[in-house]
Amino acid sequence: MSARRIALCLLLTLVCASVSGCGDNIDWAAKGATDEEYPVEYYSLGEAVYEDSCASCHGAGGSGSFGPQLRGKGHKYSYEDQRTLIERGRRSMPGFASSLSSTEIDALLAYIRVGFFVNDAE
């Protein structure tokens, strides 16, 4: 086997190993809403911000699309970590610190962390 072929096999093995480790096999959506409490008006504002700024990538109700599913991710990420992610962005996701107010980001977090599940409970 040539050195080039060995290098290619090694590279493919590394790529496969790194890709297989990308997903976690936890059903975050099944964990439901976080135990946090937010002002009731945050849910409607958060839903409007989500529909305007997030749904095209993250899907209706956080179900996932081009971007990952968000339902239940409040159990994976702390409030502060999710806020930083929204403000600064990550990978192909843009940051929204300059286009959303602090109140809009608070409301968006309330909607993502709790509001997705409000209709499920009714």
Range of the domain at 56: 27-121
d(CA 29, CA 11) in angstroms, rounded, equals: 35
Domain of 100: which CATH number? 1.10.760.10
Q: Report the domain count for the chain.
A: 1
pLDDT digits (tens, 9 = 90+) for 74-114: 899 999 999 999 999 999 999 999 999 999 999 999 999 99
- What's the confidence (pLDDT) of residue 17? 46
| Residue 89, domain member (yes or no) | yes
pTM of the model: 0.77
Which of 120, 121, 122, 2 has the alpha carbon at shortest distance from 61?
A: 120
| Residue 15, domain member (yes or no) | no
Half-sphere exposure at residue 122, Cβ-oriented, CA atoms within 13 angstroms = 5
3-class DSSP string for 92-122:
CECCCCCCCCHHHHHHHHHHHHCHHHHHHHC
pLDDT digits (tens, 9 = 90+) for 8-33: 555 555 554 444 445 568 888 888 88
| Residue 117, domain member (yes or no) | yes
| Residue 22, domain member (yes or no) | no
| Residue 12, domain member (yes or no) | no
Q: How far is CA 16 from each of CA 6, 24, 106, rounded to the nearest angstrom? A: 15, 15, 38
| Residue 4, domain member (yes or no) | no
